[in-house]
Amino acid sequence: MIDYPAARAVALVAQTGSFDGAAAALGVTASAVSQRVRQIEERLGAVLIERGAPCRATPQGAALSRHMERVGLMERTLFRELPGGAGAGTGAAPVTLSLAVNADSLATWALAALAPFSRSEGYLIHLTVEDETETAQALRAGRVLAAVTATQRPVQGCEVTPLGAMRYHATASPEFLRRYFPQGVTEAAMARAPGLTFSQKDGLQQDWLRAEFGHSLSYPTHFLPSSQSFVEACVMGMGWALNPAPMVADHLAAGRLIELIPGAVMERPLYWQVNRLAAEELAPLSRAMTEAARASMG
């Protein structure tokens, strides 16, 4: 039998990154939280929290945290079915949902779904931002209940809904094009022109180069982990990059950005995957995410 007060302490330490943060959320002392965590670790025979700054959940701790999320979801469903309806659970602590999205979706359409859902349903959102090729791993590892992914294949135990395809334009400023591509966008010129890369997991620029030139190319690059800063850096002439169509449409229309190769658009299909055990309770979120994505991406 799981000690649920202790399990909630583990989940809050993982969520807040510290025993002090969990103590503040629970209204107890940090030593009381530490005692609860230690007791459940001894009972389960596993280390659940890696102590440090910040504290992190071990794989076993992450599994327990996701279990607590599902318990919270089931309690909300139960409260609505009991006499008094939805109001029966208003005194309970709000449930935090762990979700994963890619940075470009967060910068363009995801908040249009998450904000009204959070307001109307009363959930708190714990958002992990990962490359869309990596978010499925967060689902597999049990770190999140739902995610925007680049893979159509369902993660085991998940349901999948197509969201549409994010369109990307390879863009740079007029001055950048004059400086680095005076004779056109050739392989030799691409090898000299600095680009922008979101992170070491970001393969979008290379995907575009393979589509246009038939193979990968080596080129100097800045690392800039921000979707909005990608656009601004391109406008300022810092480098070239693949940018989401909704974020550069006005810049392209005004001439502040120019496509490296006109019409050479890269599309990245996206999918919403949600843990099947939470799918019914998260149906309003799934509808909101689907509608917002399709409104943005068409």
CATH number at residue 232: 3.40.190.10
For residue 198, pLDDT over 90 is answered with yes
Global pTM reads 0.82
Helix (H, G, I), strand (E, B) or coil at 251: helix
State which of 36, 65, 91 marks the end of a domain. 91
Whether residue 80 is found in the same domain as residue 172 = no
pLDDT value of residue 122: 87
* The total number of structural domains that make up the chain: 2
pLDDT value of residue 85: 57
Residue 101 forms part of a structural domain? no
For the stretch 65-79, pLDDT in tens is 888 888 888 887 777
For residue 95, pLDDT over 90 is answered with no
Q: What is the CATH number of the domain that holds 76?
A: 1.10.10.10
- Which of the four pLDDT bands, split at 50, 70 and 90, describes residue 227? very high
State which of 57, 91, 125 marks the end of a domain. 91
For 4-18, what is the mean pLDDT? 91
pLDDT value of residue 84: 64
State which of 91, 118, 136 marks the end of a domain. 91
Residue 44 forms part of a structural domain? yes
- Which of the four pLDDT bands, split at 50, 70 and 90, describes residue 27? very high
Q: What gap in Å lies between CA 36 and CA 30, rounded to an integer? A: 10
- Which of the four pLDDT bands, split at 50, 70 and 90, describes residue 196? very high
Question: Which range of residues forms the domain containing residue 57?
Answer: 1-91
Helix (H, G, I), strand (E, B) or coil at 155: coil
Contact predicate 49/57, CB 8 Å: yes
The reply to whether omega before 182 is within 30° of 0 (cis) is: no
pLDDT value of residue 90: 52
What one-character-per-residue DSSP string does 168-230 give?
A: EEEEE-HHHHHHH-TT-S-HHHHHHS-EEES-TT--HHHHHHHHHHSS-----EEE---HHHH
- Which of the four pLDDT bands, split at 50, 70 and 90, describes residue 2? confident
Helix (H, G, I), strand (E, B) or coil at 147: strand
